[in-house]
Structure 1
């Protein structure tokens, strides 16, 4: 079974437990904390994924890092995953939980990449456009890439609108290339 399907099952179980205990938002914050910690500390995920490190040691690492910082429901999933020898997919479970949470709360993440920082009017225009298309509340992430020359690239889920000057120039170059 693939990592993503296993992670999805654990994440679904976790969100159901969090709903039952009325701590969905707290567990969401905990999953963000875990994901952030894992991304900033490569050694953590290497240790959790290592077959050489014993499971008791991995649980000790998780306990030292998170037992005082996360809700007991979140810490319980860490314990269960460790006992099931699936510590290496904890980051995938956290990612999947965040995705399920966003869907549960009606939040659509969108990324806008532009050549210059967005003005408030443009930010609102992009948010409104995505909200109208998806019917969800929009969480807009902004990135600046000066290689675009002008225009923007809007990514919503697995869809992308590339209205950058760089892509237009590449299209023209391919059109006129011998």
Structure 2
């Protein structure tokens, strides 16, 4: 299953596939997905947690102890908690963001959905999110789940990555194109 999707490959793909198959077999896909979303949100909010996850300086025992406290406080338990502990014990916690992304892709494919990574300069209104979902559904023929990231550096517009396709209509990219065209003309 993992080989069908280029976003689900390598170490993170193998871990995500194992977690997906276990969660599917235990009929716990929704619970595991919710727990991983919680952990992903914690990662995005806490520089200290990101440092713990990514830094090779911490021993597996130190990471495991700190992670245990974090997931307990967050209410993450069962398959998800055990999985995060296995990643840590195997010294693969640094790949947790990629594993979560690959797991989401597997769940989306299982449900007949598609997942799109969308980068915007500022948060979109619900009306604009719905319009974007509708536009992507008309292109893919599937229900599209959006993973929205706000990055003011793109100035305006949006960047949409859906599977192996990427549409970059950001103002930053357009300005860079103009800049290069002017350099070549001059």
Provide TM-score, normalisation by structure 2.
0.71
Deviations 1:87-137 (A, max 9, x none): 2222322222122222322133253748996694x6555433211211111
Matched, 1:139 2:145: yes
- CA RMSD, aligned part only? 3.5
- Which secondary structure state, in structure 1, belongs to the residue aligned with residue 15 of structure 2? helix
- Give the stretch that moved more between structures: 105-114 or 88-97: 105-114
Contact 2:105 2:115 in 1 (8 A): no
Residue 50 of structure 1 aligns with which residue? 55
- Give the stretch that moved more between structures: 168-177 or 92-101: 168-177
Residue 99 of structure 1 aligns with which residue? 105
> Which structure has the greater CA radius of gyration?
1
Distance change >3 Å, CA 13–CA 125, structure 1 → 2: same
Number of residue pairs aligned between Structure 1 and Structure 2: 171
Structure 1 residue 48 displacement after superposition: 3.4
Of residues 159, 166, 169, the one that matches 1:159 is 166
- Which secondary structure state, in structure 2, belongs to the residue aligned with residue 85 of structure 1? coil
Give distance in 2, aligned partners of 1:46 and 1:99.
25
Task: Give unpaired runs (5+ residues) of structure 1.
Answer: none
Distance change >3 Å, CA 56–CA 154, structure 1 → 2: closer
Matched, 1:17 2:59: no
Distance change >3 Å, CA 113–CA 56, structure 1 → 2: closer
Task: Give unpaired runs (5+ residues) of structure 2.
Answer: 1-8
Distance change >3 Å, CA 127–CA 17, structure 1 → 2: same
Give distance in 2, aligned partners of 1:32 and 1:116.
19
Provide TM-score, normalisation by structure 1.
0.73
- Give the stretch that moved more between structures: 104-113 or 53-62: 104-113
